[in-house]
């Protein structure tokens, strides 16, 4: 019964290290989004639909039953996967993943979604600048440095393509949420600067999932509250 972890932006599979160390499970699989420290398949255009299809294919290859966990864009893709194929996983958990028609993209996302402006921003995004920004958003300094070291040109192009495909993702994907059947858990930082907890609460309501908010926590709950997240997940899995 594997646990499958799906990272977000601008992360790699390394973002799960602290959580994995605290889980009692030894059947953990970490997936790497194409372009994020992993090769981009031929013909893969790095859009939200491409990543959604990619995740479904990856999950189909893993012997189940699967407990799926996603953060940030990995969380959005997790919710999309269980919306499209409700019986594909045993349970799912996601967080920092606002899928809501009323959600307004954060400042960096809007810049990435703007042609030319997004490219100019990426050119200025040095490892030092990215690490500094991540620390300001709540990422522990050591983890921020590791993340920044792996944000290469391929990842930057992938981010731009993904965000430009997702300007209205909340409108496009929300109706399918009613198809979700597997038990769900929404994890959210109280001080998430990119998506307020209300969007997590509303997503939980639409998917009949349990909502957990971590006081004082920012966006990267698996790094900031690794022990608390591990306890919440294991309690959730045991009850499923």
Q: Residue 39: inside a domain, yes or no?
A: yes
Q: Does residue 194 fall inside a structural domain? A: yes
Residue 210 confidence class, pLDDT cut points 50, 70, 90: very high
| Arithmetic mean of pLDDT, 42-59 | 98
Structural domain includes residue 54? yes
Q: For residue 78, what pLDDT is reported?
A: 98
Cα–Cα distances in angstroms (integers) from residue 91 to residues 5, 39, 81, 183, 207, in the given order = 12, 28, 12, 5, 12
CB 223 within 8 A of CB 14: no
Regarding pTM above 0.95, the answer is yes
Mean pLDDT within 208-234: 98
Contact 38, 11 (CB under 8 A): no
Q: Are strands 28-31 and 67-71 parallel, antiparallel or unpaired?
A: unpaired
Q: What is the CATH number of the domain that holds 194?
A: 3.40.50.1820
pLDDT (0 to 100) of residue 71 = 98
Residue 233's pLDDT is: 98
| 53 lies in some domain | yes
* pLDDT score recorded for residue 164: 98
Domain assignment present for residue 131? The answer is no
Angle between helices 117-124 and 153-164 (to 10 degrees): 150
pLDDT at position 69: 98
Give the domain extent around 50: 3-103+168-239
Of all residues in the chain, the percent with pLDDT exceeding 90 is 99
Q: Average pLDDT, whole number, for the chain?
A: 97
Q: Residue 82: inside a domain, yes or no? A: yes
pLDDT (0 to 100) of residue 83 = 98
- Residue 109 placed within a domain: no
Residues in CB range of 20: below 8 A, 6 or more apart? 5, 28, 30
Residue 165's pLDDT band, with cuts at 50, 70 and 90, is very high
Q: Quote the number of domains for the chain.
A: 1
pLDDT (mean) for 149-156: 97
234: in domain: yes
Over residues 110-128, the mean pLDDT reads: 97
What pLDDT score was predicted for residue 176?
Answer: 98
Beta bridge partners of 185: 93, 210
């Amino acid at each position: 019964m594997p646990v499958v972890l799906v990272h977000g932006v601008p992360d790699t599979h390394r973002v799960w290290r602290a959580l994995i160390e605290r889980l009692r499970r030894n059947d953990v699989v970490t997936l790497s989004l194409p372009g994020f420290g992993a090769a981009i398949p031929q013909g893969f255009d790095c859009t939200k639909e491409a990543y959604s299809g990619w995740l479904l294919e990856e999950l189909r290859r893993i012997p189940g039953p699967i407990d799926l966990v996603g953060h940030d864009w990995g969380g959005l893709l997790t919710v999309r996967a269980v919306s499209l194929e409700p019986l594909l996983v045993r349970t799912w958990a996601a967080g920092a993943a606002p899928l809501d028609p009323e959600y307004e993209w954060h400042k960096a996302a809007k810049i990435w979604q703007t042609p030319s402006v997004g490219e100019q921003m990426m050119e200025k995004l040095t490892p030092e600048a990215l690490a500094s920004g991540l620390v300001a958003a709540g990422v522990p300094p050591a983890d921020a440095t590791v993340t920044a070291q792996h944000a290469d040109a391929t990842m930057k192009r992938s981010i731009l393509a993904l965000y430009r495909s997702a300007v209205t993702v909340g409108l496009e994907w929300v109706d399918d949420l009613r198809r979700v059947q597997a038990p769900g858990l929404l994890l959210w930082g109280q001080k998430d600067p990119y998506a307020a907890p209300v969007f997590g609460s509303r997503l939980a309501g639409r998917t009949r999932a349990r909502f957990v908010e971590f006081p004082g926590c920012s966006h990267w709950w698996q790094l900031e509250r690794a022990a608390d997240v591990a306890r919440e997940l294991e309690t959730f899995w045991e009850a499923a």
